[in-house]
Chain A
Amino acid sequence: MVMLRYAVYRFFTMLLTLLVVSVMVFTIINLPPGDYLSNQIAELQASGQSAGVAKAEFLRAEYALDRPIWEQYLIWIGFWPGPHGFSGLIQGNYGWSFEFDRPVSEIVGDTLWLTVVVNLAAILFVYAVALPLGVIAAARSRTWIDYTSAFVGYLGLATPNFLLALILFYYGHQYFNLPIGGLMDPRFEGEPMSWDKLKSILIHLIVPTFVIGTSGASAMMQRLRANMLDELGKPYVETAIAKGMAPSRMLTKYPLRVAFNPFVADIGNLLPSMVSGSVLVSVVLGLQTIGPTLLTALKTQDQFLSAFILMFVALLTLIGTMISDILLVMLDPRIRYEGREA
């Protein structure tokens, strides 16, 4: 009951935060002077192509770019009637990409969920690798296991991702016949989901997951190790040993439970850093994720496209923090029962 109420409360604060983020995103994107269309108009006028100017002027009116900025914002969100009535984000209209001359929804369509898939896979990889290694490194601290895992971890942190990507592609292809580039076989692109398509995506995911997840995994492993070492020195661990518990069970039941908290709290931070951090990797690996599109959109001041992608990343982050907050409350009775009558 307490949990449910907290979850509902947390959901509403998330919506509120999202609203604030949307204001900031929109403001920041409109900070540089001019927009995509005014740039284009200036360019067309300089080269004397009046037909193009007329079209651009038409688009300006069509997308309300000639109105005051606050009105533009409200129209974009969908709180204010634009030239075509209420038609903004909350009505499901993501706007028009001037650069690609197509609706935003069409451009991002597939890449949205592919981004989610790639990053989810990377996060799962991070956790799957960091958890056991961090615990073992802490339990066997100052032994060769600890040193080896630390060494490998630092290598993972220090190797540039794109370099790792190229190396893995080469060897992956040579020895395991892994595909190079892309997130699926080209023949499945645009096809409806099928068993073969899923298989193709999974195989294509192997290298990107590894590449994107390595540095995150080594960072997290080091943090978990440090947390665990702090916890291992605490008296309650001694109590557990004095009870006669076997080391493995003791480790997982007591110190790991406590050391796990910051681990969970990290879920929210992992998502945005992965999305923005994987842009270069996506370019190198030719992944159809949202990163490269965002880069283009930002460079060309394609405001609706970039605003939408930024909002999407913000949404992922907020969902991530919401999940981690709720998990923390579930995991830690000290948060849950704060102030419960003794």
Chain B
Amino acid sequence: MNALLSVRNLSIGFGTGNSVVTDVNFDVEAGQTLALVGESGSGKTITCRAALRILPRSAQIRSGTITLNDSKGMCELTSVSEREMRNVRGNRVSMIFQEPMRSLSPLHKIGNQVSEVLWLHRGLSEAEARKEVLTQFDRVGFPDPQRAYDSYPFELSGGMRQRAMIAMAMVSKPELLIADEPTTALDVTTQAQVLGLIKELQRETGMALILVTHDLGVVANMAEQVVVMHKGRIMEAGPAAPILTAPAHPYTKQLFDAAPEIPDQDAVGIPMPNEDLILQMTGVSKTYTMRSSKGWQSEKAIYACRGVDLNLARGKTLAIVGESGSGKTTAARIALGAELPDPGGEVLFRTAPDVDPITVHSMTRAQRTAFQRKAQMVFQDPYSSLSPRMRVQDAMTEPLEIHRIGTTAEQRDKAAEMLQRVGLTEDMLKRYPHAFSGGQRQRLSVARAMMLDPQLIVCDEPTSALDVSVQEQILSLLEHLQDSLNLSYLFISHDLAVVARIADEVAVMRRGLIVEQAPPETLFYNPRHPYTKALIAAQPEPDINRPIDLKLVSLGAGAPDSWDEAFRFSDTVIPSLVELEPGHKVRCHV
């Protein structure tokens, strides 16, 4: 055995239950990248954590060995003492976790948390460690290492925190890095940059990498070896190229089919019709004022939305795409009347083509009640958007009770009907949400939103918390419902690939402004704005021959004042949206 890390016959289980990881074998060679791919519940995370023995307390390694064989000698990780293990962790093998927002202690300075690795493993003094950490910060791309050293995590963006995590993992120069979904919680442009950074550091140091991910696009961009896991077993393993170009196992094929992709386009799309508009937003802005902590300074204005004009035709889907903080959710909340636009903004909702519109931006109480029956929302996280203490039936009939519709029996029948519509069965009415999987819960959320027979549904990232195969099912469900009930969707997402499939028109937002707006086909065929180009380029494709073009990403993902002259905007100087071709608008100076 001379692989850097070799896993043999590994089985892990909880308590007395069945094993959740069964007979797993793989090798990681020095300097190589191995991707551990699978959906949630596949055992991929447990497997990689077993290497550092960071497992939930009730989990135990039932059989098998994990052997580390680095320049510091050979080490049997499943059987060494806890003290020996501590010497491995963070020193010989490091780990990066999924949520950079929560993986750093909120109360300690970044520098302190990173330097700690050097204090622990190399016994460096504070000053010596500081010097090394600053060098490392510089390498992972902090513009001002000194400042980052003395910052607290909450002062940094998600991407910067993940850079800090990478610095923490790399500072002790381990020969193996385990990254557990390191970019899943990040925006797609940030993801591209972080992946690029990991790759670059790997090239510099020659360290090996185990990358745990559910995203085949990430795999195609990073891995040399691939291990596909499903229900605790390895389905397929081997070099990346053959698996990614011609998967042999049906499960791998299934994963590939479900992976959303930005399709190749060879023509512009048909613009969304401009008549029979169900929702019309005109000149919608939203400014929040942030109170300054220092009393004498004036309040700071934050422009969540600036002059947003959006039209949604009946029975169509309008998607708003952007990174976190782009104002897409604010726009959706204003469309639902949950938030009022700044004076001057107008939101009109028409229940039928020729009736008077409801003025959503200034509703009376009665109008609001009527409006709420026509417009509903599906939320992002199916795990927290259903009350764990309410039976499915109660959660579903509650809207009817609030609006006093039907008798109890009728309400129940309606709930049963809706469950069937979303592909669940009537006998689930008596269950509680915890008895459902993530995908089923999102179906429940959709069914709940449908209870009042709405005409407009606002979907706020309805699939981003789900596995790709489940995501695929939910999108199909939404499409099916739209076709059969003539629903209109306002679809919020950060994922262009998801949007490509479902939207009739896409509005790309950045810093509260719509920067480009077009039908998806047009957008992908002929993207004009640097930010749109960056979004498209940053989308990891499950195609090993189409790696992420980091240059394109960094051109557009930076601050608006780093863009080309023609597109640049600041707080005061904002170019207007220009219609380049029918249905294709770009914000640029002409």
Contacts and interface: CB of A to CB of B under 8 A. Distances in A.
A245 interface: yes
B116 A245 contact: yes
A258 B103 contact: no
B293 interface: yes
A242 interface: yes
Contacts of A243: 89-90, 116-117, 120, 168
A244 B90 contact: yes
Nearest to B120: A244
Interface residues of B, number: 37
B305 interface: no
Contact of B293 (A234, A240, A340): A340
A99 interface: no
Contacts of B104: 236, 239
A333 B107 CA distance: 6
Contacts of A238: 54, 97, 103
Contacts of A235: 97-99, 102-103
Given A243-B90, A253-B108, A339-B292, 5 more contacts: A239-B168, A244-B86, A244-B90, A246-B86, A258-B105
A174 to B, nearest CB: 45
Interface in B37-76: 52, 54
A241 B105 contact: no
Interface of B: 52, 54, 86-91, 94-95, 97-99, 102-109, 113, 116-117, 120-121, 152, 154-156, 165, 168, 290-294
A151 interface: no
Given A245-B116, A339-B290, A334 B152 contact: yes
Contacts of B52: 242
A12 to B, nearest CB: 13
Contact of B152 (A244, A257, A258, A333): A333
B155 A239 contact: no
Contacts of A246: 86
A337 B294 CA distance: 10
A234 B99 CA distance: 10
B121 A236 contact: no
Interface of A: 234-236, 238-246, 253-254, 257-258, 331-334, 337-340, 342
Contacts of A236: 102-106
A242 B51 CA distance: 11
Q: Chain B: interface secondary structure?
A: loop
A238 B87 CA distance: 16
Nearest to B99: A235
Given A235-B103, A238-B54, A244 B293 contact: no
A339 B295 CA distance: 11
Contact of A337 (B86, B152, B165): B152
A338 B89 contact: no
B267 to A, nearest CB: 44
A244 B103 contact: no
A244 B107 contact: no
Would you list the 3 A-B pairs with minimal beta carbon distance, nearest first?
A339-B293, A244-B89, A243-B90
A242 B293 contact: no
A246 B116 CA distance: 12
B363 to A, nearest CB: 33
Contacts of B91: 244
B116 A340 contact: no
Given A339-B293, A340-B293, A244 B105 contact: no
Nearest to A339: B293
A254 B153 CA distance: 14
Contact of B94 (A234, A242, A257, A331): A242
B177 to A, nearest CB: 11
Contacts of B95: 239, 242
A253 B116 CA distance: 11
Nearest to A239: B103
Given A243-B120, A244-B86, A254 B54 contact: no
A244 B91 CA distance: 7
Contacts of A342: 155-156
A238 B180 CA distance: 12
Contact of A234 (B102, B156, B290): B102
Contacts of B165: 239
